[in-house]
Amino acid sequence: MQVKDTFLGLLVMAIWGFNFVAIRIGLHDMPPILLCAIRFLLSAFPAIFFFPRPRVAWPLLFGFGLFIFALQFSFLFVGLKLGMPAGLASLIGQFQVFFTMILAIWFFQEKPSWWKWAGAFISFLGILVVAANFHGAANLKGLALSLMAALSWSFGNMFSKKISAKSSLGLVVWGSLVATPFLIALALAVEGPAEISMALRNISWSSIFAICYIVYLSTYVGYSIWGHLLNKYPTATIAPFSLLVPVFGFLGAFLVLAEEFPLWKILASLLVVLGLAFNLFENKIRKLLK
């Protein structure tokens, strides 16, 4: 892999890791579902006028946009609003790898190896470490919602397997369009017109910065580079970069939000990342043990 492309891969992981910090900043004075709706509205418009609709049936596109965008990020944003630490949220999100593995058994009759099951078990121990060190109903709700976000992501992956899009960014744009009406309706129903109106009238510069980061850096720049790398290199070469998202998530939360980083967070992170490594590097591990 070229040095330039290695740097681009690291840059995307940094952008996506710090994205959790940007979300947390935006949630300081914005209702979570409204912030989510704004994010996908701006991700869809005006970009849909420049990206042709992916050649895929509407039900598949609807399922993709609903699960991987609307539901995943609704759960994530509400969980962060309830007090889920940004660094931990970036870590828990990676659990979608194992939810996807389990769902693939159901939908596609895939048969994961014992190595993948071992990786899932190790990562699950990391989730238990997090749960054991959380105190208070709000924190536990935040953890549960973060896991629901990962599960929604994995359901979205089932639709992704059926979709063959030439442009990954184009799929993101049209998926955002699908998610937007659902999120606007949900924000009106849950947060109400009065709270939404007040939040929009009193929007702060920090929220505007967060929205710009979430939409233009995380979505447009991040997915553009990621799609370029996936088209240029085998998936097995690019996928391991995703292990670095929690690293940058924790780093950003520490530097910007001054989140504490006690020993149990280190242990939980090591367990989850080790489990992911079992999943991503299974073939290399098998060769080393022969």
The residue ranking higher by pLDDT, 108 or 78, is 78
pLDDT band at 281 (very low <50, low <70, confident <90, very high): confident
Mean pLDDT of all residues in 138-155? 86
Q: Does residue 202 sit in helix, strand or coil? A: coil
Instruction: Select, from the ranges 104-108, 189-193, 277-281, the one with the highest average predicted confidence (pLDDT).
Output: 189-193
| Mean pLDDT computed over every residue of the chain | 85
Contacts (Cβ under 8 Å, ≥6 apart) of 127: 92, 95, 147, 268, 272
- Tell me the domain boundaries of the chain: 3-289
- Check pLDDT > 80 for residue 1: no
For 12-36, write each residue's pLDDT tens digit. Answer: 889 989 999 999 999 988 999 999 9
Cβ neighbour number for residue 200 with a 10 Å cutoff: 12
- Check pLDDT > 70 for residue 137: no
Q: What is the pLDDT of residue 140?
A: 79
Spatial CA neighbour of 103 closest among 68, 51, 138, 65 = 68
Q: For a pLDDT cut of 70, what percent of the chain falls above it?
A: 91
Q: What is the pLDDT of residue 31?
A: 94
pLDDT band at 125 (very low <50, low <70, confident <90, very high): confident
- Check pLDDT > 80 for residue 279: no
Q: What is the pLDDT of residue 149?
A: 93
Contacts (Cβ under 8 Å, ≥6 apart) of 13: 241, 242, 244, 245, 247, 248
For 178-198, write each residue's pLDDT tens digit. Answer: 999 999 999 999 999 999 999
For 31-64, write each residue's pLDDT tens digit. Answer: 999 999 999 999 999 999 998 888 888 999 999 9
Q: What is the pLDDT of residue 197?
A: 92
- Check pLDDT > 80 for residue 109: no
Query: With contact defined as beta carbons under 8 Å apart, do 80 and 20 qualify?
Result: yes
- Check pLDDT > 60 for residue 213: yes
In the DSSP assignment, the letter for residue 53 is: P
- Check pLDDT > 90 for residue 96: no
Min mean pLDDT across 79-88, 224-233, 281-290 is at 281-290
Q: What is the pLDDT of residue 99?
A: 81
Query: With contact defined as beta carbons under 8 Å apart, do 53 and 174 qualify?
Result: yes
**How far from 134 is each of 3, 127, 235, CA to CA, in Å?**
41, 11, 36
> Which stretches of 163-262 are DSSP H helices?
168-190, 192-201, 205-212, 222-232, 235-238, 245-256
For 233-277, write each residue's pLDDT tens digit. Answer: 766 667 667 777 888 888 888 889 888 877 887 888 888 878 877
pLDDT band at 289 (very low <50, low <70, confident <90, very high): low
Query: With contact defined as beta carbons under 8 Å apart, do 268 and 126 qualify?
Result: yes
| pTM of the shown model | 0.85
